[in-house]
Structure 1
């Protein structure tokens, strides 16, 4: 999705840069055709003119990247810096970019001179575009309605699948680009009805050539859509994660993964951990997965009182039942369905290359399969159990399995590091997880994702603004002669400048506003239906507003070129 958002404006920028001299190229090719050049020769000349600058530009970009990489590596990102090698794409990616840019230049040049071969005496006259049709609005409306219905259908689960968000974004993006020319045509029709010569000139231009009017602003609309849809989601999710204390591993608790420790090693570790200052109530746990009608449940098998004390779990009625289930999973347990436990580790530790020992059990059943007589609060989080099971319920002695977790509590970072040193020195591949490395790690990942999306949005806005400048300048250069004639006929320079500004500003405001609304719809749907956080509409409006204001300022600067390009002393050369 991020690649899709960045590749489109980059391709647009390259295509527009190649078309910047399209008008002069067409006239030159028409002159060569008049002198007897064949269509094949014209194509070869145009391809050569576009190919060589494309290759030089691509290679120059690689050189600038190599020179700027050490400086970029010094930039701090989330409190850390990079090695220059971290900012090095693979050889395939570099080769693809170096090859793709000249190809895009050649294709764009070939398309730009297709009219030059119509007649050898002159470049084909401009005709109204056929790209705009009312039916183009239908897919956009269908995408909006379909996306809204799909997001609304996820309200029952309280979670919006990432594939659904990506699909809705891609569909809305594609249909917005499809409907852009028709929206520009309608905007031009309304603009031409406003009073003033500038509005009439700009409106007629947009009405007759809506595709040319929409192309420059397509990248800016994409930047606004991306910003509104995704930049606001991640900080809201991060704040929600950081503010939630009842989900995931509790603060001040540790979970030592000792999957490759024998039962004797685990028992010795519990004894030694209990003797460390600042470490309290360590205990071993046998972890397992439990089959149900739906997704499997996670279970901890061991002494209930010791587990709840070490994991800081509250409101767990250990003395009331031997099988305790979270209230959120109780309905998935049926008294008529035996509970099968799997993904358990046998007592003997075998090397990875050894064949499984059929005499060593890797699962068990509950006998008899009871319905939980007690429930506990839902233990949300990937590092917490859905079920607490007394070892006496297993149809296989608990001694046939080795513990995979050691739970404990710590009162200071120094105590945690002492426990980590002890565990990792005695058990191969052992790790210790805390809330900071599991649940709060998710929040950190979300924050980093937000920073990455923010940087990508800034880069996208810069690329889109550059494409907008080139497109506006190219359009002005292509219509240099009509503007000269209008100025010679007495049209005020201010009127021509306003017309140039309105030609780009009108589709920018129309499609940019629509993109902002669609982005708000996607972002609000994900955050509101997810139920974790509210969409921060006030905090995110500044980004698209800044993009629009910067783009309008750039267009105002481009409009000032009218005076330079329509000077009277240059008319003789046209």
Structure 2
């Protein structure tokens, strides 16, 4: 019997006329979009973990007697970070760096594809001279965090590599656990949860399309002898069929656009397409979970049919929502407030605190939505001065759950958007690139780990021979302030005029060590204090840093870097200009901004689609009441106003609540996680909200032609 019922349900789903086929296509399309976004979210989490795992292979664990010397250092080129790995083999069992076929020997190196492109595109004096020797080939994807990674693996002698900063002996490479990127993992977890709710609402809304019409059809089947279980089976099969088709299309969309999605720098750098992968459990969760969820939604939507065969005719005004529906949202806020005093030290622990709090707020908004809709409807009814306004207000007050269902996706979209924009805008404001003054824009600084006692005259000659170099100064350590390392010493004659002048009678002056803060204090009018040392004493002190002033041109800066690196190869961090360090984090911030844009677009798109499906479903389910209103003399324009007000008024009413709760959640998250205070979103956020709401109003307007077609006199007669 069960096989017969399933076969009958399949035939009914595809042979029920144009209305049934349209419903099937709409549900399948909704499920395709929703399942595709779920797959992208899961693949994004997997890609981030893969990226972090490969990043960890660049920093292998040290072993006291390892047969391979290893030193990882940072260099820069035109604001981009270059990772330089120096290696030297000391035994036959030495491991091979990940991504290359063999460990390079002295005078040999491998380069990543992106670095090789830079080497070929620029003069050797700007970059290639930093890697003298034989080019052995390309570092493969297994050894790179991203297609854009600039990485060089350089061979050397054991004595030379052992003397480098951060040198270590290693026994194995590539088995280091993934580095814990707390903030990235936490934000991705919040994004995944934030997208999950709109996706599920979209799928549930589409599954409920024409629920009233289907209830009547199934009630008729009950009257002719069908059991509740058979009706439930028919409903589940009908929805699951569309969900299976939509899920298959969702998988197709994911794999079709996986390469494009991998190129979006969500974490500050793009992914390899292969990183956007799905595990077996991910595939099973979506392939089985989405159709199962659609079937459950179908059973819930037809609960009145299970009461009795005449259940759908007993339509009474449902009980009005109560204010206690606000409790879940307030509980979510309480969880985030409690997190202010308790911040777990691990990423998983923080996710376990923050993510449930945010999800609880989102669930609370859905639960409280009908009550908010009812309050807004009663206010609208009190001040109604037109028939359309009064009808819409009474209909909303009579069944606020149905009215809120149409705009629940929009509410969650605005909440997720507010959280994403609030968090990322504040991080960018707090940790974005520091402003660089005009004086220091072209200043190249290198701080020595091994302090030389002198700088060869040939180095100064090579630097001054570079077009665009204005000055070259060696800063020596102050023996009285070595521990703090904040003040250095230079000869007064070596002070560039752009950085001020010496105190009266001074031959040696004190300056900021490394010139790292000259952009804050230096100008042509600055007077630097005299030091209690003679020029002879100064020459005996170790050199702590070199500062080279240039005209700021890229060619001059990169040629200076190359000269300094060749002359002083034992650097830990390569010669840099103001903004190099900040540019690394700026790339990450740019990735987070991209992530916020994706969340905004996806959330508003899902909310708009849910609204469209809800409005269309409401029109088809209420065609008889609207047809009777037309027969009684109500103009079509009045009915259009009713439909518009039923969706627009609740949508505008919950906008303020959703945005306010989103910004509050963002503030609590920032205070607990990073100690930041929420920064007001930029004007573009208001533009996004206005444009999003205008698009939703456009969606409502686009359904109006359907109203006239489905509410003709023939509809009332056929019913």
Matched, 1:305 2:459: no
Corresponding residue for 2:395? 205
Distance 1:93-1:537 versus aligned 2 partners, 3 A rule? same
* Whole-Å separation in 1 of the counterparts to 2:363 and 2:578: 41
Tell me, in whole angstroms, the C-alpha distance in 2 between the residues paired with 1:131 and 1:313. Answer: 74
5+ residue gaps, structure 2 = 1-189, 342-349, 464-468, 502-506, 521-542
1:377-456 aligned at under 5 Å gives the runs 409=548, 411=550, 413-414=554-555, 416-418=557-559, 426=569, 434-456=577-599
- SS state at 1:62 partner: helix
2-structure distance, mates of 1:532, 1:299: 34
What corresponds to 2:415 in structure 1? 225
Cα distance in 2 for residues equivalent to 1:94 and 1:299:
57
For 2:429 and 2:624, locate their aligned partners in 1 and report how far apart those are by CA, in whole Å: 57
Distance 2:351 2:475 in 1: 38
Cα displacement (A) at 1:514: 2.5
Deviations 1:296-318 (A, max 9, x none): xx976698437xx99x9999xxx
CA contact (8 A) 2:667 2:677 kept: no
Contact 1:493/1:563 (<8 A) preserved = yes
d(CA) in 2 for partners of 1:57, 1:272: 71
Shift of 1:540: 2.9
Unpaired segments ≥5 residues, structure 1? 153-160, 286-297, 326-375, 380-402
1:134 to 315, 320, 323: 323
Residues 257-336 of structure 1 aligned to structure 2 (within 5 Å) = 276-277=462-463, 280-281=472-473, 304-305=488-489
- Cα 1:225/1:84, change in 2 over 3 Å: same
* 8 A contact 1:235–1:447 mirrored in 2: no
Q: What secondary structure does 2:208 align onto?
A: helix
User: Structure 1 pair 204/300, CA: closer, same or farther in 2 (3 Å)?
Assistant: same
Alignment partner of 1:551 is 2:696: yes
Matched, 1:196 2:341: no
What is the DSSP-based 3-state SS (H/G/I as helix, E as strand, rest coil) of the residue aligned with 1:20? coil
Q: Return 181-190 or 473-482, whichever deviates more.
A: 473-482
- Aligned residue for 1:115, secondary structure, equals coil
8 Å Cα contact 2:328-2:363 kept in structure 1: no
The equivalent of 1:482 in structure 2 is 625
TM-score by length of 2: 0.54
Does the 8 A contact of 2:434 with 2:579 survive in 1?
no
Indicate yes or no: 2:644 matched with 1:501.
Answer: yes
Q: Deviations over 1:30-63 (max 9, x none)?
A: 2332333332222222221111211111111222
Please give the alpha-carbon distance, in whole angstroms, between the structure 2 residues aligned to 1:314 and 1:36. 98
Q: Which residue of 1 aligns with 2:273?
A: 85
Residue in 2 that maps onto 1:39: 228
Give 3-state SS (helix, strand or coil) of 1:114's partner: coil
Deviation at 1:212, TM superposition (A): 1.7
Deviation at 1:133, TM superposition (A): 0.8
Q: Judge conservation of contact 1:523–1:535 (CA < 8 Å) in 2.
A: no
8 A contact 2:396–2:403 mirrored in 1: yes
Alignment of 1:462 onto 2:610: no
Structure 1: how far apart are the matches of 2:486 and 2:717?
95
Cα distance between partner residues in 1 of 2:663 and 2:577: 36
TM-score by length of 1: 0.66
**Post-superposition shift, 1:430?**
6.6
**Cα drift, residue 237 of structure 1:** 5.7
Superposition pairs of residues 246-257 of structure 1, within 5 angstroms: none
What is the CA–CA distance in structure 1 between the aligned matches of 2:460 and 2:338, rounded to whole Å?
Answer: 55
Q: Highest relative contact order (Cα 8 Å, sep 6+), 1 or 2? A: 1
Encode CA deviations 1:261-320: one digit per residue, 9 max, x unaligned: xx59x88999986675159456799xxxxxxxxxxxx976698437xx99x9999xxx9x
C-alpha contact 1:228 1:544 (8 A) present in aligned 2: no
Equivalent residue for 2:712?
A: 567
State whether structure 2 residue 164 is matched by structure 1 residue 21.
no
In the other structure, the counterpart of 2:687 is 542
Asked whether the 8 Å contact 1:165–1:526 carries over to 2, the reply is yes
RMSD value over aligned CA atoms? Answer: 5.4
